[in-house]
Copies of this chain bind each other. A is one copy, B any other.
Amino acid sequence: MVKYPHSLNRRSTPPKRSLEKNETNFANRGMSFESAINASNEYYLMKNIAVIHKKPTPVQIVKVDYPRRSRAKIVEAYFRQASTTDYSGVYKGHYIDFEAKETRQKTAFPMKNFHAHQIEHMSKVLQQDGIAFVLLYFATLDETYLLPARALVDFYAIDLGSKSMPLDYIKKMGFMIQQAAFPQVPYLDIIEKNFLGGDSYQ
């Protein structure tokens, strides 16, 4: 059992945040859910299993200084809201696209974690026969789920993201990911078994 510290949703928070408030949520290895996913992607890359990267944080650059010729310094910029998901790449020729989010709630996942743009993006990826999903980490329960984008899009359509998605719905429509050592979040096992094996979500 590996607990990741509560450190996603960086968009509106500083890159290096205080961890004190989330101390109870730390694993022995002190790795955040995002770090665990990044490490999993590195593992997949090194083993030539897949090429999946996290996209850079979208930043709106307003002012750049040139104190030296060699290196431009950005002196005014702002975090932008992402219009797509955070992770994308290729696995056996298939396009992979996902978002990773976490909550401290125990019975439901707050839909405010997802923006309308992201839902629309995932919907369009599905139209193009891409493989899209979300990885949801329930920090307090220390449980990780892979929920196919179709189930997320459908739930969002009910009331446009105004209420929480019950854990029961996630369990019914998604797949629990057993945390492991290498990789820490072996989500491609789920994809291989349930998406490429003829499941209706692909």
* Interface residues, chain A, with chain B CB atoms under 8 Å away: 12-15, 45, 48, 50-51, 53, 55-59, 61, 64, 66, 71-80, 83-84, 88-97, 121, 124-125, 127-130
Contact A73 B78, beta carbon cutoff 8 Å: yes
Q: Provide the bound-state CA to CA distance between A51 and B121, in Å.
A: 8
Q: Which residue of B lies closest to A15 (CB)?
A: B61
Measured in the bound complex, the distance between the Cα atoms of B90 and A93 in whole Å is 10
> Knowing A51-B128, A51-B130, A128-B51 touch, does A74 contact B95 (C-beta < 8 A)?
no
- Other A-B pairs beyond A14-B64, A55-B55, A59-B74, 8, CB < 8 Å: A15-B64, A51-B130, A55-B56, A72-B78, A73-B76, A74-B76, A75-B76, A95-B96
Number of identical protomers: 2
Q: Which residue of B lies closest to A48 (CB)?
A: B127
Shortest CB-to-CB span from A200 to chain B, Å, is 15
Contact between A124 and B57, CB atoms less than 8 A apart: no
- The docked-state distance in angstroms from the alpha carbon of A55 to that of B91 is 19
Of the candidates B50, B77, B84, B128, the one whose C-beta lies within 8 Å of that of A92 is B128
Residues of B within 8 A of A127 (CB): 48, 51
A89-B95 in contact given A48-B127, A51-B124, A56-B57 (Cβ < 8 Å): yes
